[in-house]
Amino acid sequence: SAVISQKPSRDICQRGTSLTIQCQVDSQVTMMFWYRQQPGQSLTLIATANQGSEATYESGFVIDKFPISRPNLTFSTLTVSNMSPEDSSIYLCSVGTVANTGELFFGEGSRLTVL
């Protein structure tokens, strides 16, 4: 399995500001996804991070609020823009390879609290 590093691991932010979360993988991966896990809840897919092109967003998530970059096969960023307390969640990077035939591995997550 891939080793996934997320930064920051946690942060406390003020309403109206933006925060960028980084996801670094120790090997080249085909698939990279960003999930959100609200406190005590399940995981919801935000978007698929596509290398060198615009991310593919799920229903209810938009690029202006959650811009995503993926410049290469091992790195991606998720920005949470113009934050409100409702954005307080754990944001998780997930990766997979075609060789793993569907297996997805998750980072430790970035715990975001918005005051």
Partner 1 sequence: QQQVKQSPQSLIVQKGGISIINCAYENTAFDYFPWYQQFPGKGPALLIAIRPDVSEKKEGRFTISFNKSAKQFSLHIMDSQPGDSATYFCAASGGSNYKLTFGKGTLLTVNP
Using CB under 8 A, list all residues that contact partner 1. 1, 4, 31, 33, 41-45, 48, 92, 94, 96, 101-109, 111
Whether the CB-CB separation of 34 and 13 falls below 8 Å is answered with no
Choose between 13 and 45: whose C-beta lies nearer to partner 1.
Answer: 45
Choose between 14 and 40: whose C-beta lies nearer to partner 1.
Answer: 40
Nearest CA to 64 out of 110, 18, 31, 14 is that of 18
Q: How far is the CB of 32 from partner 1 (least distance, A)?
A: 10
Q: How far is the CB of 82 from partner 1 (least distance, A)?
A: 26
- What CA–CA distance (Å, rounded) separates 65 from 49? 15
Choose between 50 and 81: whose C-beta lies nearer to partner 1.
Answer: 50
Q: How many CA atoms lie within 13 A of 67 on its CB side?
A: 8
Q: How far is the CB of 49 from partner 1 (least distance, A)?
A: 12
At 81, list the tokens.
């823009």
At 72, list the tokens.
């290469």
